[in-house]
């Protein structure tokens, strides 16, 4: 049975802050001691809770930087929580950052084998899928060449063909997925929809709110690494849209207020 259990999960990254100093400060202080750049804690996710079972279709919405993709990576096992826990049961297929991890010196065929084994395929199960993966990628004889010679689009095609060749129990999708030209994208989206229909459990990140409402039975609205609201798609999407309108109106009012002093000063100068 496929399942997701995330309990009070937080992810914190540590980054070095580059402090700008003047030439005078450098001459006075830099000659006598080594400058130390302070460490800054970046809270990517804070106390996330999520429970999902077979049949669930979870949508994640929010503006850029909300933590949506970070949450997907937590579920995929790319990140481990700094605090709390995340447990995912079932065969996972992750459709994001799919072009990362190629063996550049190996051929396309060899990479099909390597990556398929990492996804849990066996020599027996992969044997019946090799030709199908090759055909879907549309790379033809290029599969005989090292991946280092591939264009970015070719790498994405091959990665997508491999990643979607398995029958997942847990499907993790970032819909902002660009794979090749328009014709290939149409084919890729058709395959993604087919996988969505057969997977036991799905979590999808999307800015297409209509797709979220049509596809999902639950929605998480995220902001700055936290869950603002969770519930029925219609309810959460409506709240998110209203919040977006309120923020846009506030930003417009602030911009107009900021321009008034400058306009008044210009009028006074003309007078």
pLDDT tens digit sequence for 98-132: 767 799 999 999 999 999 998 888 999 999 899 99
Q: What is the pLDDT of residue 83?
A: 98
Compute the Cα dihedral for 105, 188, 222, 232 and give only its sign.
negative
Q: What is the pLDDT of residue 189?
A: 81
CATH for 98-169+181-199, options being 3.40.50.300, 3.30.70.260, 3.30.230.10, 3.40.50.720: 3.40.50.300
Q: Mention every residue, 6+ apart, whose C-beta is less than 8 A from residue 93.
A: 119, 163, 164, 166, 168, 170, 171, 172, 195, 199
pLDDT tens digit sequence for 124-167: 999 989 999 999 999 999 999 999 999 988 998 998 999 888 88
Q: What is the pLDDT of residue 172?
A: 92
Q: What is the pLDDT of residue 67?
A: 96
Low-confidence ranges of the chain (pLDDT < 50): 267, 271
| CA distance between the termini of the chain | 77
Alpha helices in the chain (DSSP H): 23-25, 68-76, 108-118, 123-127, 130-137, 152-163, 182-198, 209-215, 233-270
């Amino acid at each position: 049975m496929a399942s997701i259990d995330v309990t009070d999960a937080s992810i914190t990254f540590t980054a070095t802050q580059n402090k700008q100093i003047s030439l005078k400060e450098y001459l006075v202080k830099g000659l006598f001691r080594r400058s130390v750049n302070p460490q800054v804690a970046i809270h990517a996710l804070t106390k996330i809770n999520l429970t999902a079972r077979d049949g669930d279709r979870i949508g994640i919405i929010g503006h850029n930087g909300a933590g949506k993709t970070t949450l997907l990576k937590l579920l995929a096992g790319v990140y481990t929580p700094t605090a709390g826990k995340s447990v995912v049961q079932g065969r996972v297929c992750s459709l994001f950052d799919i072009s990362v991890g190629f063996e550049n010196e190996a051929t396309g065929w060899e990479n099909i084998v390597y990556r398929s084994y990492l996804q849990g395929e066996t020599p027996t199960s992969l044997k019946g899928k090799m030709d199908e993966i090759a055909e879907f990628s549309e790379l033809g004889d290029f599969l005989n060449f090292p991946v280092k010679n591939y264009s970015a689009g070719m790498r994405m095609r091959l990665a997508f063909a491999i990643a979607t060749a398995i029958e997942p129990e847990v499907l993790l999708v970032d819909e902002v997925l660009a794979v090749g030209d328009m014709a290939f994208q149409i084919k890729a989206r058709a395959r993604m929809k087919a996988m969505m229909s057969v997977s036991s459990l799905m979590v999808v990140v999307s800015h297409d709110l209509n797709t979220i409402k049509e596809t999902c039975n639950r929605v998480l609205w995220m902001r700055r690494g936290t869950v603002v609201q969770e519930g029925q798609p219609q309810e959460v999407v409506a709240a998110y849209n209203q919040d977006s309108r309120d923020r846009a109106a506030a930003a417009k009012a602030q911009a107009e207020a900021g321009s008034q002093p400058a306009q008044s000063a210009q009028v006074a100068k003309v007078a």
